[in-house]
Amino acid sequence: MSTAEHSGGAAPGHPAPRRIVLLRHAKADWPQVSDHERPLADRGRMEAPAAGRRLAETGIAFDLALCSTAVRTRETWKLAVQELPQRPRTVYEERLYEASLGDLLALLNETPEDVDDVLLIGHNPGVHALADALAGQAEGDALATMNRGGFPTAAFAVIEFTGPWKTVEHGVGTLLDYWAPHK
């Protein structure tokens, strides 16, 4: 089942599913700058639009994008968002840089209740740890594929859950999709 088929269709009185999409920044370069200031490498400038095109194919209309303030994540988002049919409200969040699993869960718990679908653009190891922690279940071989290949640059995971944002915790979701540019 495609991710788009999951939108809507909730029974009356039953909350609609929400999606969390976790996108790791594209491949970064290693110039003589601080880690926070590292820009994308040439490969990253090709990966980011490819990830954006694949995100568009999911059919998810993001309400909110939470993006780390690091240069490589901002550049990834700038290139990826151009491929989406509409630009979601974007918040550049300092706490996403070097965030632990607990930090990432706390940020998701703060999401406003009027938001259904969130895209988080961040870093490893936190992004992979969060995808793994949230995925109590998985469709098809998505979890095996994610864990076999790790969470390379420009990869993303789509996780669905039902309930308020303050209830996002370990095992609450279903991993619907996992994509990496070179899988």
CA atoms of 129 and 121, how far apart (whole Å): 14
Residue 16 forms part of a structural domain: no
Burial class (CB in 10 A: 0-12, 13-18, 19+), 145: middle
DSSP-derived secondary structure letter, 86? S
Residue 130 forms part of a structural domain: yes
Work out the mean pLDDT of the chain and round it to a whole number.
Answer: 92
Mean pLDDT by 10 residues, the chain (183 residues): 41 73 98 97 98 97 98 98 97 97 97 97 97 94 89 97 96 96 77
Residue 68 forms part of a structural domain: yes
CATH code for the domain in which residue 27 is found? 3.40.50.1240
Residue 46 forms part of a structural domain: yes
Residue 147 forms part of a structural domain: yes
pLDDT tens column, 14-38: 478 999 999 999 999 999 999 999 9
Q: What is the pTM of this model?
A: 0.91
- Res 149: pLDDT: 83
Residue 13 forms part of a structural domain: no
- Report the amino acid identity of residue 37: E
Domain encompassing residue 102: 21-179
Residue 3 forms part of a structural domain: no
Residue 124 forms part of a structural domain: yes
Structural domains counted in the chain: 1
